[in-house]
């Protein structure tokens, strides 16, 4: 019978087979808000003191909105730009994609289409609070969800390529900027005359990968600000130039930022096979402890103030390709094959606070470094988890006692429940990537051991792990990291026990499945006969 080809591990699939490795911002969405219009008092000041209305009535917003809508219609007529009605759940970008592609082909910068939609947004609504002695009404303002007119300005920018700006027609006139880091990088390469072959929203190849990476790394908050300000001067706005000069201007904050790492493989035919192996091994990321360490954030699930959000790992099939998503609060890391030949790892941050970063656009660089570390940590975990190799001598050093430096070292005996839980915890919380403390590892061990496990026991086991060379202590701290050998030992011990030893030992249990028990017993007899034959050959038989 022909030998079946084994699925390559991540390390095997990537080692020497990555033709391009690029880290870059992908899709970026920024919320634009007017700080002085975010409170009822600020709204009154705007209408009464700035606009000169003695009575700050909510009816004054009607003429502002109507003037804005009229300005948009005139703009579309003068610029010969189509006004496209959009539905709430419609693929808006797909609808206007032909206009963006035509502008890109012609290298024509400008607004290519204006989408008009009726959407539910949080806006200011006013009502009479009370009337003064003279009968003059006093208004109060509060936020409510209302269906209003929203305009999408789809544009082609000379530096960023396809972008869009969305503006609401009612106070507080919230706006949104959408752009893409990969598209900007493509424009930069074209401007410098560097040849490249694109993927959908990425790169298949590049004549100068180092220059491409420098272009991607150079994207920062100042570039986003220039893009936004440049187009505010060219499209209709509900707030006039006088309003903006008086301080009623938009400021940017991060809404959704995607930072990706793309590794293009030279053997795409094996891409699905090795990614299926990656998906299977990534099940160990499903625990909350593992997710917390992967995102380098603490997750509290009990007590008065538990950490809100979703903490789980989903492996789904979209078409024929699997997709891995590791969720932390409102953000996630997703991993998938792009066009069957590129491994894409992408941190999708829907709330910068999830990664300990503030929202203002000036913190974009800090968020990039956090997301870059997450993507690398994800890949490092998968490299280690799919390639466990261990020499027999190393196995003996771990599983048997020895006398290193004249001091007897207690063994980490294979199959001991405490050892299985200890090494399983090392795998579970991906400590080979993140420094850990006594309390961090003890929590994971206690959950796996299913019985009390105290700090003294953890200290003793930490000494055993250090003596065996499986972990090392960071100098000047009480934190530890797993060594390369430690990662391999932990993965091999736990995987082999869970997938081989434990099922075989359970075959004679009363609750063992009847359908599989005879097959397992037959396999055990085959193994027993093989061992007896080898013993006879070596003259070791009784």
Q: Tell me the C-alpha distance between 254 and 524, whole Å.
A: 59
In a domain, 436, yes or no: yes
3-state helix, strand, coil in the chain (%, to 5): 45, 25, 30
Residues 338 and 370 in one domain: yes
- Residue 425 sits in a domain whose CATH number is 1.10.10
**pLDDT tens string 259-293:** 999 999 887 665 666 666 666 666 556 566 667 66
In a domain, 369, yes or no: yes
- Write down the mean pLDDT value for the chain: 82
**Do 104 and 175 lie in a common domain?**
yes
Report if residue 274 sits inside a domain: yes
pLDDT of the residue at 319: 55
In a domain, 197, yes or no: yes
What local confidence, expressed as pLDDT, does residue 325 receive?
86
Q: Which domain holds residue 357?
A: 1-17+266-387
- The verdict on 246 and 367 lying in the same domain is no
Residues 420-436: pLDDT tens digits? 888 878 776 554 556 78
**Gap between the Cα atoms of 157 and 155, Å rounded:** 6
Tokens of 530: 């093989």
Residues 356-365 pLDDT 10s: 999 999 999 9
- SS3 for 373-433 is HHHHHHHHHHHHHCCCCCCHHHHHHHHCCEEECCEEECCCCCCCHHHHHHHHHHHHCCCCC
- The model's confidence at residue 315, banded by pLDDT at 50, 70 and 90, is confident
pTM attached to this predicted model:
0.73
Looking at the fold, whether 250 and 125 belong to one and the same domain comes out as: yes
Our count of domains for the chain comes to 4
Q: Which of 368, 387, 406 is the C-terminal boundary of a domain?
A: 387
CB 12, CB 280: distance < 8 Å: no
* Shared domain check, 470 and 351: no
For residue 502, being part of any structural domain is answered with: no
Q: CA 275, CA 315: separation in Å to the nearest integer? A: 11
> Tokens representing 397?
């050093």
Q: List Cβ neighbours of 41 (8 Å cut-off, separation of 6 or more).
A: none
Do 334 and 462 fall within a single domain?
Answer: no
Please state whether beta strands 83-86 and 110-131 pair in parallel, antiparallel, or not at all (unpaired). parallel
Query: Does 504 map to a domain?
Result: no
CB atoms within 10 A of CB 369: 12
Domain assignment present for residue 542? The answer is no
What per-residue confidence (pLDDT) applies to 88?
Answer: 79
Give domain status of residue 85, yes or no: yes
**Which of 255, 283, 305 is the endpoint of a domain?**
255
Q: By mean pLDDT, which of 93-102, 292-301, 394-403, 454-463 is the weakest?
A: 394-403
pLDDT exceeds cutoff 80 at 322: no
122 with 172, same domain: the answer is yes
| 358 and 460, same domain (yes or no) | no
Q: Which of 232, 255, 278 is the last residue of a domain?
A: 255
């Amino acid at each position: 019978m022909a030998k079946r080809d084994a699925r390559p591990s991540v390390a095997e699939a990537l080692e020497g087979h990555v033709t391009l490795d690029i880290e870059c911002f992908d899709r970026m969405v920024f919320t634009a808000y007017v700080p002085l219009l975010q409170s009822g008092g600020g709204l009154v000041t705007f209408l009464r003191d700035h606009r000169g209305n003695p009575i700050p009535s909510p009816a004054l917003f009607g003429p502002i909105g109507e003037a804005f809508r009229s300005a948009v219609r005139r703009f579309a007529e003068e610029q010969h730009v189509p006004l496209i009605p959009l539905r709430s759940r419609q693929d808006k970008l797909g609808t206007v994609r032909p206009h963006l592609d035509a502008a890109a082909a012609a290298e024509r910068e400008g607004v290519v289409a204006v989408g008009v939609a009726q959407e539910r947004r949080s806006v200011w609504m006013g009502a009479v609070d009370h009337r003064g002695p003279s009968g003059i009404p006093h208004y109060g303002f509060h936020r409510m969800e209302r269906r209003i007119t929203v305009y999408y300005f789809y544009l082609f920018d000379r530096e960023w390529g396809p972008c869009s700006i969305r503006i609401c027609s009612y106070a507080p006139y919230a706006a949104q900027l959408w752009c893409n880091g990969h598209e900007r990088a493509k424009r930069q390469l074209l401007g410098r005359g560097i040849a490249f072959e694109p993927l959908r929203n990425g790169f298949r190849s590049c004549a100068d990968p180092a220059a491409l990476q420098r272009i991607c790394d150079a994207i920062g908050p100042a570039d986003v600000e220039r893009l936004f300000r440049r187009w505010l001067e060219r499209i209709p706005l509900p707030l006039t130039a006088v309003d903006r000069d008086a301080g009623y201007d938009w400021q940017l904050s991060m809404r959704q930022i995607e930072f990706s790492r793309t590794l293009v493989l030279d053997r795409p035919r094996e891409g699905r096979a090795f990614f299926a192996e990656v998906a299977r091994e990534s099940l160990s990321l499903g625990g909350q402890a593992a997710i917390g360490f992967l995102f380098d954030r603490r997750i509290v699930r009990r007590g008065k103030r538990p950490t809100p959000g979703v903490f789980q790992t989903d492996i789904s099939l979209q078409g024929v390709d699997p997709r891995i998503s590791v969720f932390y609060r409102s953000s996630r890391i997703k991993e998938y094959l792009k066009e069957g030949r590129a491994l894409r790892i992408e941190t999708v941050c829907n709330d910068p606070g999830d990664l300990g970063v503030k929202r203002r656009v000036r913190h974009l660089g800090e968020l990039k470094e956090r997301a870059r570390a997450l993507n690398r940590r994800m890949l490092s975990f998968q490299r280690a988890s799919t390639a466990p190799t261990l020499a027999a001598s190393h196995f003996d050093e771990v599983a048997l006692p020895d006398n290193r430096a004249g001091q007897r070292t207690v063994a980490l005996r294979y199959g001991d429940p405490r050892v299985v839980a200890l090494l399983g915890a090392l795998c579970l919380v991906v400590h080979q990537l993140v420094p850990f403390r006594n309390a961090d590892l003890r929590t994971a061990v206690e959950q796996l051991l299913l019985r009390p496990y105290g700090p003294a026991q953890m200290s003793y086991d930490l000494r055993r792990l250090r003596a065996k060379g499986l972990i090392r202590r960071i100098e000047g701290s009480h934190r530890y990291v797993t060594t390369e050998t430690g990662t391999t030992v932990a993965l091999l011990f736990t995987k082999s026990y869970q997938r081989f030893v434990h099922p075989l030992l359970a075959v004679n249990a009363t609750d063992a499945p009847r359908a599989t028990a005879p097959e397992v017993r037959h396999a055990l007899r085959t193994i027993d006969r093989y061992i007896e034959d080898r013993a006879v050959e070596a003259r070791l038989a009784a």
